[in-house]
Chain A
Amino acid sequence: MSSPDPIAAIKAEFKDRIVSWEEKSPKRYYITMPREDITKVADFIFAKQGARFIIASGVDTPEAIEILYHFAFDKLNKILTVKVPVPKERCEIESIAPIIAGANWIEREIAELLGVNFLNHPNPKRLLLAEDWPEGKYPLRQEPRSNR
């Protein structure tokens, strides 16, 4: 099922779609992909290459909300992070929870903390915040950093 060198396989599979590719160390890889491809990428890495999905992180940067999908190849001691920038104007991305059951909660969490809309999520309910938390207020969005 999985190839002996999944990193090379991913590179070959998506070579004309990859926006940037960084090999920080032999253990850590960061690639940037356009958001249209995320379901294909997740399916390829998780289902075909047998990686373990660790978690996704959302980061608010000045340009866009970046969503980072962290995948682990445990036996090869490599962690591959797929970065997907989501512009703030149309803040939505296809959900990968239908492909990876373990992504269900984290997508709900990112949705409420960072205000990213996950399309076709199986259960897009609120996860962490209180029932009376105001809609449209996203605690992990950055305020202008005047205090630093």
Chain B
Amino acid sequence: MNQKTIIPVGPFHPLQEEPEFFELEVEGEKVIDITVNIGYNHRSIEKIAESKTFDQMVFLVERICGICSTSHPIANCNAVEDLAGIEIPERAKYIRSIVGELERLHSHLLWAGLAGHFIGYNTLWMWVWKYREPILDLFEAVTGNRNHYAMMKPGGVRQDIEEGAIPALSKGLDEAEKKIEMVTKAALDDPVLAARLKGVGILSKEEAIDYCAVGPTARASGVDIDVRKDEPYAAYGLVDWKIITQEDGDVFAKVVVRLLECFESIKIIRQCLQKLKTTKGDIAVQVKEIPPGEGIGHHEAPRGETFHYIRSDGSNMPVRLKVRAPTYVNLPTCKVTVPGESVADATIILAAIDPCYCCTERLVKVIDRERGRKWKWEDLLRLSRKKTERIKKRMGISHE
């Protein structure tokens, strides 16, 4: 007992739905327990939604998360459409899928960069973020904004993709693909990354099922769930693609799943762009009234299934909106993945779920129990980076 130190991590992390506050309990180098405190970012969105009309609600849920900023609107529209029994036009389906998949691309790249930052590969961070910019430019071309696209509405989409814009989009996509291919090859062949990430933070298939994990976190553990395949909404049933799974459940498997998924996304966008050329017609149906009842909609966000439940009493506002973001069920898995690992690995395991990355920010306040030793997130990052250096040295790779 007297060797126990508690390391607080957080609560200020910029890049996720909720700033979290982790407390790592360590014995020497080994983590023995982890406690997660959330709620720093609880903005009472579910309550605010009760005072918004169905059309306004889309803008609100868009602002749940800036990275999944089209996932929540899609899930929300799916729920409203399920409630009212609306079928959206085919053209709208393709546009929804295009925006949804572009988002997956930008989100996975963002994550890859920050994961690199965590283990001391700042080069990877800068590169990947550089290649993420063209995707944001594509977003700007399609929707008019880099983030918060405001594309979805119950019954369809708000903006069309003009025929004339398609060649430029395809070209941008081709270029992005080349870059992503290069990064993927570089990352997957890198012996240091493999040494650092393989066998670390393993989440077994049974644990993934027990914790109800979703998205890449589950797929890296061999659970082949993907809402896009299981309940083909939007255009996902109309194009050809496959689910990426891995069996190992470690951090490396999660990297592989995310990187390979990027190519599936590109495949989907390409096919959708092709189909847009031949599919004419409206981009939205008129939605006059939302009847009383209940609706459930979900969408495979970059991090996993986003779930929306809506109850309506027949007025123009919902009685209740329930939102479940993927991190909500993925994060508790750190209870099984982090304990037993070394402190230096804790950061990357937590980051592998993709809840929080650039934890450069946190409060300077150290809870210190027995040893009088001060630990900060910076120290953790330093430890993490040192370990990478050690591995590099062992392999005879100079880091200069």
A and B touch in the complex (CB under 8 A): yes
User: What is the interface of chain A, defined by CB distance below 8 A to chain B?
Assistant: 24-25, 27-28, 30, 52-55, 57, 59-60, 68, 70, 74-75, 77, 79, 81, 100-102, 104-106, 126-130, 139-140, 147-148
CA distance A127 to B328 in the complex (A): 12
Residues of chain A within 8 A of B225, CB atoms compared: 52, 74
CA distance A100 to B207 in the complex (A): 11
Known: A54-B324, A139-B47. A128 touches B332 (CB 8 A): no
Contact of B294 among A24, A52, A127 (CB under 8 A): A24
**Nearest chain B CB to A133's CB is how many angstroms away?**
10
29 examples of A-B residue contacts, CB within 8 angstroms: A25-B82, A30-B294, A52-B209, A54-B305, A54-B324, A55-B324, A55-B329, A57-B309, A59-B311, A59-B319, A60-B320, A70-B296, A74-B225, A77-B230, A81-B294, A81-B296, A100-B210, A101-B210, A101-B212, A102-B211, A102-B213, A105-B332, A106-B328, A126-B39, A129-B39, A129-B42, A140-B46, A140-B47, A147-B51
Which 5 pairs show the lowest CB-CB distances between chains A and B? A102-B212, A57-B322, A128-B39, A55-B324, A128-B42
**B296 close to A128 (CB less than 8 A):** no
Known: A24-B294, A81-B296, A102-B212. A55 touches B322 (CB 8 A): yes
| Residue B231 is within 8 A (CB to CB) of chain A in the complex | yes
| Residue B317 is within 8 A (CB to CB) of chain A in the complex | yes
**A102 close to B332 (CB less than 8 A):** yes
| Residue B357 is within 8 A (CB to CB) of chain A in the complex | no
**Nearest chain A CB to B64's CB is how many angstroms away?**
14
**A53 close to B44 (CB less than 8 A):** no
List the count of A-B residue pairs having beta carbons below 8 Å apart: 76
| Residue B307 is within 8 A (CB to CB) of chain A in the complex | yes
CA distance A139 to B49 in the complex (A): 13
Counting chain A CB atoms within 10 Å of each CB, the highest count among B46, B212, B320, B322 belongs to B212
**Nearest chain A CB to B18's CB is how many angstroms away?**
9
Interface size class of B (residues with CB under 8 A): 35 or more
> A28-B296, A74-B227, A81-B296 given. 7 additional CB < 8 A pairs?
A24-B293, A30-B294, A59-B319, A68-B322, A101-B212, A102-B332, A126-B39
Q: Is the interface of A mostly helix, strand, loop or mixed?
A: mixed
CA distance A141 to B52 in the complex (A): 17
CA distance A105 to B309 in the complex (A): 18
CA distance A129 to B329 in the complex (A): 19
**Nearest chain A CB to B15's CB is how many angstroms away?**
20
Residues of chain B within 8 A of A28, CB atoms compared: 82, 296
Residues of chain A within 8 A of B195, CB atoms compared: none
Contact of A70 among B44, B210, B307 (CB under 8 A): B307
Known: A24-B294, A79-B296, A139-B47. A68 touches B209 (CB 8 A): no
> In chain A, what residue has the closest Cβ to B82?
A28
Residues of chain B within 8 A of A139, CB atoms compared: 44, 47
> In chain A, what residue has the closest Cβ to B46?
A140
| Residue B38 is within 8 A (CB to CB) of chain A in the complex | yes
**Nearest chain B CB to A6's CB is how many angstroms away?**
15
Known: A57-B322, A77-B231, A139-B47. A52 touches B212 (CB 8 A): yes
Counting chain B CB atoms within 10 Å of each CB, the highest count among A25, A79, A101, A139 belongs to A101
**Nearest chain B CB to A137's CB is how many angstroms away?**
13
**Nearest chain B CB to A55's CB is how many angstroms away?**
4
**A130 close to B39 (CB less than 8 A):** yes
CA distance A148 to B210 in the complex (A): 42
Residues of chain B within 8 A of A54, CB atoms compared: 212, 298, 305, 307, 324
| Residue B56 is within 8 A (CB to CB) of chain A in the complex | no
Counting chain A CB atoms within 10 Å of each CB, the highest count among B42, B46, B317 belongs to B42
- Chain B residues 230-271 with CB under 8 Å of chain A are 230-231
Residues of chain A within 8 A of B294, CB atoms compared: 24, 30, 81
B314-352 interface bits toward A, Cβ cutoff 8 Å, 1 = contact, 0 = none: 010101101010001100100000000000000000000
**A27 close to B305 (CB less than 8 A):** no
**B231 close to A27 (CB less than 8 A):** yes
Counting chain A CB atoms within 10 Å of each CB, the highest count among B213, B320, B328 belongs to B320
